Structure formats: C-alpha cells, structure tokens
Structure 1
Amino acid sequence: MAHELIVKLLDGIVDSLDIPESYYQRAANRHRSLGEWLCRPESKVAIYNPHITPQGSFRYGTVTRPLNADGEYDLDNVVTLTMPKTAMTQQQLKTLFGAEIRGYAEAHQMLSPIEEMNRCWRLHYSDEVTFHLDSLPCVAEEQSVIESIVGLGVSRELAKRAVAITDKRHPQYATISSKWLSSNPRGFARWFEERTRSYALPRLRRLVESRLYSSVEDVPAYEWKTPLQRSIQLLKRHRDVMFRQNPELAPISMILTNLATHAYNGEADIFTAVTGIVDRMPTFIRSGRPRVPNPADPAEDYADKWAKDARLEQNFWTWHTQVKADLAVLPDLLRGDRLAGRVRQMFQLDLTQEQLRQFQPVSPVVRSAAYSAPAIAISNPPRPWGAE
C-alpha cells in the first residue's frame, strides 16, 4: 500500500511539472518558422540546403516547468548545412549563419538582441510563453569520422548523424581546416528515442486505438510518458531546486538524461524506476576520459567541463547523494505530518488538499501547508515535429 501511495505522489508531482500541449506546438512553430526563414530565396545560407533538427528536452519529452513563473524554457535545434568542412572557416560559417539569425530577429521584431554563444546563436522569444532558442550551425561529418565512430561500436544508423560544429574556442576556428569539433546530438536523440519507445508501446497503442493518432509512429515523445521520462523530469526538478542559487554550477541536463537512460531497467512505475536509476547512475560514469560519453559518439564527453572546474563534478556527487537520501525517506513521510514541507523543499511544489487527503489524515500543520490548485487537462496534443 505504501508503495502505491508513493507512486501516486510522484506521478502527481510530475503532472504538476508537465507543460501544456500548446507549449509543444509553440516550440514546433519556432523551429518551423526559423527553417522557413533560412530556406527563403534571399537567404545567404539557402544554397546550402539548411535542415533543422529539434533537440533537447522538448524532443525527448522531458520538459519541466521553470522554478519561477517568469522563467524561460530552453529550445535547441541543430541546423545542418550541405558543404564540406573546407569550404569556409568555422568563423565564416558562424558569421554567415549569425547574419541570418539577426535578420530573422529583426524581421520578427524581437525585442531582445540575439546572443552569440561559443557554439550557437541564441534567440529570445517574449510573448505569452518565454523561450530562448539555441540554434547550432554545423555540417555533416565526413565519412572517415563516421567510420571511426562505427569502429567504436556505434551502429551506422546512429553514427551517420554525426556533425562537425563551429566553436569559437577551437584552435582552427579562423582557419580553413578539416579539423572541426565533432558532435552527434542527432544520434543521441535517436538513441534515446529507440531505448524509450519500446517501453511506451502499450500507451502508444491505446492512443492509436482511441483514434488520437493514426499510428504509433505518429505519437510524439512527450505523449509517451514512460517511467524513464518522468524520472528524468523528477531528477531535473530536484537538481533545479537544489542549485537555484547557482544554476551555472548544477549538473547539466544532458548528463542526467544520458545516465538515467543507461540506468533504466524497464521498471513499470516511477518510484521503482527513479530509485533504481539513481542507484545505478554511478556505474555509467567512467574513471577516465570521456567521463560521460555520448552513446552515439563515445569520443564526445558530456562531462568535459569537469576537468576544467572541479566544482562541477563535486556538485554532481553532492546532488546524487542528496537525491538518493531524499527518495529514501519518502515512505516514512507518508506516516507523518512533514510530507507537504519536504515535497516543497525537494521540488518547490505545494501539494493540494486533495492530494494530501489521499496520503494521510490532514493534520492542522499539513493543512496550513497546502493550497487548492486547479488541474490542467491535456487533450489531443498535436505532433510537434518529425524525428530524425
């Protein structure tokens, strides 16, 4: 009985962290609009056949609400251009692409200026929903690099998605060279989807049977709602709360998503899944470099910054110890009057009176800590984008 109550508690918390379907549609529209701009006849990059691939939590179905009502949502995409690496320097490509991003912002009367990051360009959207979009220009990786990735044990289906990216810190950034930084975000996304989809099949079939979608392939990842995805949402929220004063030193989402996906063993409910994931996470961190390799390109290290700033690795282990301890005390909290306070401490969420009544008699202490919140109903969400 206690296990079922904890599952219900954590499912309710994740439901509170989920975003409305309309946000996914807005995200899809952002990607689509930028793609249309880059491919218009006047575009300086149109001759290179730019192809946008959405990335990040909006693609994986692991988005969580920001801690604050005015917080930004992160959007990511990869824009692959058809050209060899030696056609121009990284700097020339990034500048050319940046000019189009600047033109897009001006044409759409965006209030905030664009930002040049080390690898990408950032757009800020400030309408009903506040997004920032990081758009990464790149070119398809050359065949010799793809073969080397395959040689590391990666399937060709994943390896062929590798790209060469621009990076201002690269020693050959301003020089014509075939030596670019290699990355495989598209391969990672496909790896994540392949590992996750099989656990979502019963739900996908129910959605198809209810005629919400015509086939299981049409169901977007945010509709899968597997214990893995929901566990990642919980872990990210716990991380956000723990490092709300210094988010730049928090474990990054790609590390959490990578390790959680490796550590998930197909558990059927969220409590068993998240506790098992947290227990097994350390076994997928290597002692030598790469510490947390991209499964679609093992030479790419998601924890590469750990070697440059020891606080980052230390903070990961501090967070891991804390989330493990917090999950361990949940069964005891169901029998006391500290549940509402600890949930607020762990996830910065307030349980409603209705939720608390499901878990325990409502004492005066708990009653004062709860509030009544409206439920959000999500119906027939559209498919936000096609996978690659």
Structure 2
Amino acid sequence: MIPFQNKYVQLDDLLDRMAESLQLDKTRYELMIQHYEAIKKWIEADEQFFKPFKYELYPHGSVRIRTTVKPIGKDEFDLDIALHLKVQWDIHTPEKIYFELRRRLSEHAIYKEKMELKNRCIRLNYSGDFHMDILPGVQENDWDEDKIRVPDRLLGYWVSSNPRGYSKWFLNKANIVKISLLEKALRAENLPSNDFENKKPLQRAVQLIKRYRDIYFHDDDTFKTSSIILTTIAGLYYNGEESIYLTVENIVNRIRQHTIHNSWRLKVLNPVNSEEDFTDKWEREPRYYQAFETFCEHLYEQWQELKKENGIISEGRILKGLFGDELYFKAQTSQADIIEKSRNANQLGINRNSGIIGAAGTVSTSLVKTNTFFGNDAD
C-alpha cells in the first residue's frame, strides 16, 4: 500500500483499486452499446405497433450510474434498458405493451432464441457476456418526463416506476463531492493519479458493498439482498463524505442504528417515486429482512476492525475476507506497479526522517534509486 500519512487515504487507495477491478471492462461495455443500438433500430423499424409512437429507449440501473460489479463465478454483467412510450398509460393494457415487445423481439432470428420472459421485463441472454433486461413502460403524466407505468404480470396491472429519475437522483448525490480525499492526497504528495475511471466515493462504496454482498451470500443466495435496495440505502444515507472508507462507515453505522433501535423493519422506497417500495418482498417474506440485518451486522463488525491499527497483514486479512483474495491481490499488484513506474521515472523519494515514500525533490527526501533488470541499483 502506498504509505500516505493519513490512514483513510491509505485505505481509500486500496479500496479504489479493488472497486476498479469490479467494473465493466471497456470491451464488454462497447459490445453492450453495439447490441443496444441494434435492438433500438429493430424496434424503431416496427411498422405494426411501435413506429407511430413517440418513445425513448435508454439504459438505466448500474451501467447508467456506473456501479457495475463483476459477478462471482461467471463473467456476465446485466444491462437494464427502458422502452419508454410517450402516450397515455391508460390507453393500452399492461398485457398489450408487454405482448408487443415480445412479438417484435420474436420476429428477429437472433433475439427470439435469446428471450427469457420475466415478470416486468424481457431478458435477452448473451451467454458468457451479459444479459439485457428490456423494461416496457408508458409515461405516467405530462409534467414528469421520467415517471412511467410498467406492466406487472404477476399482479396483472400497471405499477408506477421511475428508472431514469432514479439514475439522476443517485448521480446528483454522488456528485456532491467535487474532489475526493484520495485525489487531494495524490495532488498534495505530487504522486501520479490513478489511471482509473473517475468515480466518486459513493459509487465506489456501492460497488464494494455489492461485492461483499455477493461473497456473503455466495453459498446460499435464497434471501440475498437486491442491488437496488443496497444502492438506494447508500444514496439515502450518504452525507457527502470525501473518503470511500468513511462513506461505507457512515452507511453501515446508520443501518445498524436503525436495526438495533427499532423493532420495525427498514422500508426502502424509490426516492423519486414514493409509490414504489423496493422492500415490499420483505413484508411478504420476513426472512429477506432477517438476512439483510445479519449481513449488515457482519459488514459493520469487519469495518470496525479496519479502524484499528492492525498493520498491513491484519488489514489484508480483513479486506480479503470482505472482498475476496483475487480482488485484494490485484489491488496490491496495481499499487506495486505504480510505485515501480514512479521509481523508474525518478518521481519517488523516501523521507529521511520518517522513511515514508513521497514525491522526489521535496524537503528531507532522498531519491529512490531505479532498479535494473537484474535487480541492482542503477548508478
């Protein structure tokens, strides 16, 4: 770990690198966009139903808010798409909208083989790469361009939703912070910035919490907490912390405050559509909420351990337990590569008083010598 003076900066550097390894790679992202554009053109060309209407087809969910997490045990991501028709929602039945989307996709030789019918959406499975969930919906009113009604096949009627408004809400929350603690520290130390996608502490925190969730429920995911619940709670409890570590710390603390001081369960509504209860399943099946409480309590306990001055070995053990060995080792290797590149470019020095690595040329700092191929110091 790059030994910054501030403990939270040290942890943030490692957490940032672990979260970076979790996200959608550039190749797969570009492939998703290609398939998205192809589906968009196919629906637009439909003479039978869709072409006469004004509508939009747009991504939402983790890809849009940039909190994707690579699944464990398989190499697939999910892309959520909304098919947003701009007509009065009560003109058509929910069955009609769902049927027309199904019909159009089934007319395509490739799409019909990839279709999987879900309760509110139709999934296209691109085996080994990703799956695309297409959610059909109709605009709910004229004064809110984002709010839609979507068909619920189990209930048999329209339900209110707002996937695009939700994305805007979350990104606005994340962007409260203009410059993160880690970015400030890198500038202050005159160290090279991480060559990562520029993400805010809230986005990184959500990625890490979701990864811990996947590890925690890996052996039995029957009552696994959904990503939309975790993401919403994180956004609601976020107080603009500049640190990834402190963002997670605040979120788990506030969850715990609720669970230990209240006998009633936590209720998580869509922050841009109070009619949509993301935790309605917890009401029907309390074991989902019990699993959520147990999972959050374990995360809280482990996060408290990171506060202590455990040393690198103990911190590594905790982080590997939370996020997995592979993710931790990748982050360590990434750090080592950055240090080596900076050393070879004569950008790093060692403080003669404290022994801490810092920028070369600063007061009380000696240059770190470059390693040759054979491991000897360069002259």
Place the TM-score, normalised by the shorter chain, in its bin: 0.7 to 0.9
1:136 counterpart residue number: 135
Contact kept in structure 2, 1:50 and 1:81, CA below 8 Å: yes
Q: 2:250 aligns with which of 264, 276, 281?
A: 276
Unaligned runs of 5+ in 1: 147-158, 174-179, 204-221, 360-388
Deviation at 1:198, TM superposition (A): 3.6
Larger radius of gyration, structure 1 or 2? Answer: 2
Matched, 1:352 2:329: yes
Q: 2:92 aligns with which of 70, 78, 88?
A: 88
Matched, 1:49 2:54: yes
Deviation at 1:289, TM superposition (A): 9.1
> 1:285-319: per-residue Cα shift (whole Å, max 9, x none)?
99879911111011211111101111111111111
Distance of aligned partners of 1:342 and 1:197 in 2 relative to their CA distance in 1, 3 Å threshold: closer
Q: 2:230 aligns with which of 235, 247, 256?
A: 256
1:115 counterpart residue number: 116
Matched, 1:298 2:274: yes
Matched, 1:164 2:149: yes
Q: CA RMSD in A?
A: 3.2
Contact kept in structure 1, 2:180 and 2:243, CA below 8 Å: no
2:17 counterpart residue number: 12
Unaligned runs of 5+ in 2: 182-195, 337-379
Contact kept in structure 2, 1:284 and 1:292, CA below 8 Å: no
Contact kept in structure 2, 1:37 and 1:43, CA below 8 Å: no
Deviation at 1:197, TM superposition (A): 2.6
Contact kept in structure 1, 2:106 and 2:112, CA below 8 Å: no
Deviation at 1:18, TM superposition (A): 2.8
Q: 2:164 aligns with which of 186, 194, 197?
A: 186
Give the AA of the match of 1:355.
Q
Runs of 4+ in structure 1 off by over 6 angstroms are 283-290, 356-359
- The TM-score with structure 2 as length reference comes to 0.74
1:243 counterpart residue number: 217
Higher mean C-alpha displacement, 182-191 vs 244-253:
244-253
Deviation at 1:333, TM superposition (A): 7.6
* Cα separation, 1, equivalents of 2:252 and 2:71: 22
Distance of aligned partners of 1:84 and 1:112 in 2 relative to their CA distance in 1, 3 Å threshold: same
* Cα separation, 2, equivalents of 1:354 and 1:165: 41
Distance of aligned partners of 1:201 and 1:294 in 2 relative to their CA distance in 1, 3 Å threshold: same
Matched, 1:125 2:126: yes
- The TM-score with structure 1 as length reference comes to 0.73
Distance of aligned partners of 1:247 and 1:233 in 2 relative to their CA distance in 1, 3 Å threshold: same
Distance of aligned partners of 1:278 and 1:296 in 2 relative to their CA distance in 1, 3 Å threshold: same
* Cα separation, 2, equivalents of 1:251 and 1:284: 17
Distance of aligned partners of 1:33 and 1:76 in 2 relative to their CA distance in 1, 3 Å threshold: same
Contact kept in structure 2, 1:184 and 1:296, CA below 8 Å: yes
Deviation at 1:284, TM superposition (A): 7.9
